[in-house]
């Protein structure tokens, strides 16, 4: 990971969580449907109907 500069001028190391958050922001800015966005982020669903719908949408593209 790279080092990023804080406002105070100090540097801190980027984390994988920062990258995941950045990726999620890019999906939102690209108007990605929420269901696909959640699937791409690796979130699990306890609702089998919603999970089946997400898998259908993902395979459709």
Residue in the block written with tokens 């984390």: 15
Distance CA 42, CA 33 (A): 15
Higher-pLDDT residue of 1, 12? 12
Global pTM value:
0.53
Q: What is the pLDDT of residue 38?
A: 84
pLDDT, one tens digit per residue, over 20-60 is: 999 999 999 999 988 888 888 887 766 666 667 666 666 76
> Longest C-alpha distance within the chain, in Å?
49
């Amino acid at each position: 990971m790279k080092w990023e500069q804080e406002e105070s001028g100090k540097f801190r190391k980027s984390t994988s969580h920062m990258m995941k958050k950045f990726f999620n922001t890019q999906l939102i800015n690209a108007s990605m449907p929420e269901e696909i966005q959640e699937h791409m982020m690796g979130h699990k669903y306890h609702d089998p109907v919603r999970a089946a719908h997400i898998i259908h949408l993902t395979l459709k593209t």
